Amino acid sequence: MSYPASRILAATRSELAEPTDAELLARFVNDRDAGAFELLVWRHAGLVLRACRSVLGDHHAAEDAAQAVFLALARQAPAVGRLGSVTGWLFRVARRVAYRATRRRVLPTVSTTDLDALPADLDALPVAPALIPDQNFDLVLHEELDRLSEPHRTLVLLCFFEGLTHAEAARRLGWPVGTVASRVARAKDKLADRLIQRGVSLSVLAPVALAVSPSFVTATTRAAVAFATTRRTLVADTVFELAKQEIRMTLAKKVLNLAIGAVIVCCALALGLRSSAEPPSVSPPPQAVPVAKEPAKKPPQAVVSKTFAVAPITTELQRRLYRGAGPNSTAVVIVDGAALFKDPKTLNTDALNLKELQTALESLRPEKGRSVAHIEMHYGRDRTSGNCIDWLDSALIGTLVSAGFVPSDPTHRTISHNSAFSFEDYVAPLKDNKGTDDTENGVGDERVRAYPVRTPLSRALTQSVGGVVEVYPRLVCKTDDWVPEGVDKSAVAALEKLKLAKGQRINFLWNIRPERDSQTSERIQSVCERWVKNAGLELGQLSY
């Protein structure tokens, strides 16, 4: 039976009696204590909802994703309990599940002539300003949190997202208070440096609590307990599928890690047996060898196949085009998903040569355990079987790991197309090595930056436009004068500094809040057209 909310809240106020996350999970695993799990939901629901909402931008979709996260926690409680605090685990899983939930929700980038065709139901319900910061850079903040080490990330989440004091965080983690204080300070410094580089102030770290309703906690607890104990489903099918996908992906990664470990052990044994069978050799004395100046290394070249392309990520623009990419992001795998299916429910396993893909990835010379690879999947409009997609995801992730890469989180982005899409034309720029060495440095300020498009990968991702302009502040587009004067001036100045030839096309990346109306698309297009016209350029695609 569920604990009354009053008893749970009273328990959380008692600092001396407050159980740790590990103790609560142990009570749930050993005794099936629903009250212990409900206390975990109360404790961390605000953090999970905020992480999901930063990706999805919609309250109801964020609640569905958050429920799936807690269902996955209930099923994997024994393993997660050994981690101590589950805060970091919940944050990472929340982001994965939220990005996975966008698979059926994200619209592809469209040309300006197609803006009127966007469905009106993209408008989300209005969000109370008190729930999120005035300038909501939560998505950027969470991306940079992902780059912190696990101890630093956990402390930031506990102290700034869940509002614990240093003493409370120390008790939760079993660390000395001095250790917590010093690590929090270092984490803030690292986070501030990285946020400033992306034009975001550290003020976005101010604690902001999303309201958590008792009904959400009760329903989530009941569903999670039933899911873990009786395998019954008390949630919507979409929530159930998200939870199952997360559990399957976790199991797949464990199997891959075990397989890699077995291969390493076998190789070590083989080398040991060989060395023991051979007599020791005496090396000749070293001779002085003149040191030749090593030539500068050129970036590796892209590899293009019939159903996939592999390209190095070398510039900041490419990382901006792949949301969530960081300094360790070094490769992208572009896959023609439509060619891999005989029909929406039948995967054509012969169409994708995983060995060829692994060889292409290895040619990029990854730094094992650090280099991150992103996967971009292209599908047709037909609804494809979720089980087939999950199998394909697992196969691709296994190939990335075997080649020495770390899969990105989320593992991939999905783009749907109409019948006119040609994968061969899309990856054609990757066959041209022109501009491979270019840095594509951006110009502008903390509000707007403009990038020239010169490298093969950037040309492929943007359909060979002249440049890309990114507007950082998250804006509300519901009035005719919706663009702040500072942003307007920054955009004009950035386009001028870009110094492109007249008539070239420009793509725009916007950060628009979900409060929209039927005129939002028209207003965005109108502002972009004014900017490019003043610069003597033409409008390309809009993403927001």
As a whole number of angstroms, the distance between CA 322 and CA 197 comes to: 17
Where would I find the H helices in 57-159? 59-75, 77-81, 87-101, 138-147, 150-156
Inter-axis angle of helices 237-277 and 386-402, nearest 10: 30
Model confidence, pTM: 0.51
Query: Which pLDDT value is given to residue 103?
Result: 66
Q: Domain map of the chain by residue range?
A: 135-199, 303-431, 443-542
Query: Which pLDDT value is given to residue 202?
Result: 67
Can you read off the two tokens belonging to residue 486? Answer: 């500072």
Three-class DSSP category at 187: helix
Say which DSSP state 369 is in.
T
pLDDT digits (tens, 9 = 90+) for 329-365: 889 999 988 888 777 777 776 777 888 999 999 998 8
pLDDT digits (tens, 9 = 90+) for 130-142: 333 433 467 788 8
pLDDT band at 368 (very low <50, low <70, confident <90, very high): confident
- Rounded to the nearest integer, the mean pLDDT of the chain is 79
pLDDT digits (tens, 9 = 90+) for 278-295: 555 545 555 555 555 555
The mean pLDDT value for 195-208 works out to 69
Burial of residue 343 (CB within 10 Å: 0-12, 13-18, 19+) is: exposed
Pick the CATH number of 135-199 from 1.10.10.10, 3.40.1000.10, 3.30.830.10, 3.40.1830.10: 1.10.10.10
As a whole number of angstroms, the distance between CA 475 and CA 544 comes to: 10
The mean pLDDT value for 218-244 works out to 87
Query: Which pLDDT value is given to residue 123?
Result: 40
